[in-house]
Copies of this chain bind each other. A is one copy, B any other.
């Protein structure tokens, strides 16, 4: 179904030169406006509510006009995703890799919290666009500067990124439905899941400081692991 996502996401990177004015009706619509409208709908009401009709209504145009600017809906969603990833202020420089990756993770989190519909898309198979590549490149630079090899740097980025993507899941759910444990009300659940039962009985779920910041708690664990790796990794020249 997805034809040339690569061309779709990257073709505009080079500004087309040498065409000052072309013949033909000037376009009131644009790919950017369509993507923006679709994203606004998704942000407000979920990806489920994004339909070509709904977008057209929002832009006050005919449905089929959209197809002059976007190949199809799948491609539009891919564009929405990458545009969303690009929609964040650039990160500053950091002296310390750990501060840098902490900031990186928090920035990514902010992004996904603002656009909850994007997280499942991140998990689905997709082509990387410029918006997403920015984050990868930035994080790669952080680890490369600590002296890690390129492949290990990538593995480190994948680890942090993996944690962030996964840990966001319950967080985004929590915003809509704080009752992750509603199922424990079921009479059969208590005996089948004694540890969950114990957790609920302990009472302190709601106001546990660790759980309140479980994202940063887990992030800290990952960074701790990386710190240990970086400190103890075999170095080419041995100890100075």
What is A's interface to B at a CB cutoff of 8 Å?
1, 6, 9-10, 13-14, 48, 116, 119-130, 133-134, 136-138, 140-141, 144, 149-156, 158-159, 161-170, 172-173, 176-177, 180-183, 186-189, 192-196, 198-199, 202, 204-205, 208, 210-211, 214, 217-218, 220-226, 228-229
Copies of the chain in the assembly: 2
- In Å, the complex CA distance between A48 and B125 comes to 12
When the two chains form the complex, which single residue of B122, B127, B183, B188 contacts A129, counting CB atoms closer than 8 Å? B183
With a CB–CB cut-off of 8 A, which chain B residues contact A1? 48
A158 with B218: in contact, given A163-B163, A165-B165 (CB under 8 Å)?
A: yes
With a CB–CB cut-off of 8 A, which chain B residues contact A14? 187-188
Interface of A is mostly: helix
When the two chains form the complex, which single residue of B6, B177, B202, B225 contacts A225, counting CB atoms closer than 8 Å? B225
- In Å, the complex CA distance between A80 and B181 comes to 20
A214 with B140: in contact, given A125-B172, A151-B205, A183-B128 (CB under 8 Å)?
A: no
Do residues B217 and A159 form an inter-chain contact, with CB atoms below 8 A? yes
- In Å, the complex CA distance between A223 and B163 comes to 12
For this complex, 28 residue pairs linking A to B, each with C-beta atoms less than 8 Å apart, are A6-B182, A13-B189, A116-B125, A120-B124, A122-B123, A123-B123, A133-B192, A136-B193, A137-B196, A138-B195, A141-B195, A150-B202, A151-B208, A151-B210, A152-B210, A154-B211, A155-B218, A158-B167, A159-B218, A161-B166, A162-B163, A162-B218, A163-B166, A163-B167, A163-B218, A165-B166, A220-B225, A221-B226
When the two chains form the complex, which single residue of B163, B186, B210 contacts A155, counting CB atoms closer than 8 Å? B210
With a CB–CB cut-off of 8 A, which chain B residues contact A199? 140, 150-151, 153-154
Do residues A169 and B162 form an inter-chain contact, with CB atoms below 8 A? yes
When the two chains form the complex, which single residue of B119, B124, B151, B220 contacts A202, counting CB atoms closer than 8 Å? B151
CB distance from A61 to the nearest CB of B (A): 28
CB distance from A98 to the nearest CB of B (A): 12
- In Å, the complex CA distance between A119 and B137 comes to 25
When the two chains form the complex, which single residue of B9, B144, B165, B187 contacts A169, counting CB atoms closer than 8 Å? B165
